[in-house]
A = this chain, B = another copy of it.
Amino acid sequence: MEKLIGAAVIGQSGGPTAAINATLAGVIRASLSESGRGAITTLYGMRNGIEGLLDGRLIDLSAAFRTPEGGADEEKLALLSQTPAAVLGSCRKKLPDPAKDPAFFENILRIFEEKNIRYFFYIGGNDSMDTVDKLSAYIATTDYALRVVGLPKTIDNDLPGTDHSPGYGSAAKLIATEVQEIVRDCAVYTVPAVTIVEIMGRDAGWLTAAAALPRITGGAAPDFVYLPEAVFSTQAFLADLRAAFEKKPNLVVAVSEGIRTENGTYIGESEQSGSVDVFGHKYLAGAAKTLEHIVKHEFGCKVRSIELSLPQRCGAHCASLTDLTEAAAAGAAGLEAAILGASGCMIAIIRASEEDGYSVSFETADVRKIANKERRVPAEFITERGNNVTDVCLEYILPLVRGEAPVTMRDGIPVHFTFD
């Protein structure tokens, strides 16, 4: 493969995570290494993903992170890595079909030519890989040399072609940690009570499964865990609670926001959740809130619903060291692969055989097999009754939450990196 020298652009796309900036840091570090500098003249960051490329909002990351000696400013990179969300900003733009709207891509090509951009990195999930796929498909129809590489990022862990995705481990660690704290909190009173914790993951239950992790670390886990991959039956759920009440007064249940009935209706969208707000608009109450009302009606006991909400995906203060380390390594692997000629691919994480303990390596995977596809929790990870996850599932997740990422604090509050 011919050596390609020129500028590079990188963007962050889709939902924020605690690890997406660590991947950016990995790419920046690698671009300022000896081999990186041999190919990449300048690394630009796109503000708000592809949107920033289109309207010229680029930031010179090489200049921002280069030391006077020409290497990478490790102190700045460490701050960047511990910063949640997406420091470049994000977007949710879906690119048009290159065959139907070539003008859109011709415009991008002009921008590439103008700045001699030869490398395009995009950190994101399923939708972002669609951007990688379309851009690399279009470029293949031109004689412009550009290498397009996707870097995986999703708290949902639903990207196919990779053992797991950066961002998931940290979200899983926060969920396991906070749900265990909730279980402790709810156990202090003797009055019958049910606490329902709603966890992100509309179609894939990976995040909800993580709530059960303390079960295999000697800690406290929810009594029941319901994933979208198992059909949710309100009757079976109430029967589960009734049986559990025979043994203890305080029950904690973890549910995915995406749990649905046999006919595919989301619990949070079912008629049972139909409320009307002050303006007369019907609104959807969410899975946990809907179940709160059902359980209260059935048992008449104290019921509380909790949505873990945004803190799940931006909990950098509780990030997994394994996750952030892999996130940065995936970024570096992407840059190195691109320099060696890879394009139209996503960096995938390969887990080594468990017999030698947990370790990973990185490969390139064809992005056409990844874009717009989802990897869901397999049947063997869910108990037969569909009301919990199996130990095999937890053994898959556990290595991903190991280790605590160091956090620089100022006066007791985490310090975040910004360009401002």
Contacts and interface: CB of A to CB of B under 8 A. Distances in A.
A184 B84 CA distance: 7
Contacts of A214: 413
A219 B177 contact: no
Given A277-B275, A278-B274, A219 B413 contact: yes
Given A184-B83, A276-B276, A278-B274, A189 B412 contact: no
A306 interface: yes
Contacts of A297: 279
Interface in A103-159: none
Interface in A299-326: 304, 306-311, 313-318, 320, 322
A185 B316 CA distance: 11
Classify the secondary structure of A's interface with B: mixed
A345 interface: no
User: How many copies altogether?
Assistant: 2
Contacts of A271: 278
A366 interface: no
A322 B412 CA distance: 10
Q: Which of A188, A314, A320, A398 has the most CB of B within 10 A?
A: A188
B416 A220 contact: yes
Q: Using C-beta atoms within 8 Å of the partner chain, give the interface range for chain A.
A: 35 or more
A413 B398 CA distance: 9
Given A311-B311, A404-B412, 6 more contacts: A184-B416, A217-B415, A275-B277, A304-B310, A306-B307, A403-B412
30 contacts: A48-B188, A48-B190, A84-B181, A84-B184, A84-B185, A85-B184, A90-B188, A90-B189, A92-B189, A176-B412, A177-B413, A181-B311, A182-B310, A182-B311, A185-B314, A213-B413, A216-B411, A217-B410, A217-B411, A219-B410, A219-B416, A273-B278, A275-B278, A277-B285, A278-B294, A281-B293, A306-B311, A317-B318, A320-B412, A404-B409
Interface of A: 12, 16, 48, 51, 83-86, 89-92, 173, 176-178, 180-182, 184-190, 195, 213-214, 216-220, 271-279, 281, 283, 285, 290, 293-294, 297, 304, 306-311, 313-318, 320, 322, 398, 401-404, 409-416, 418
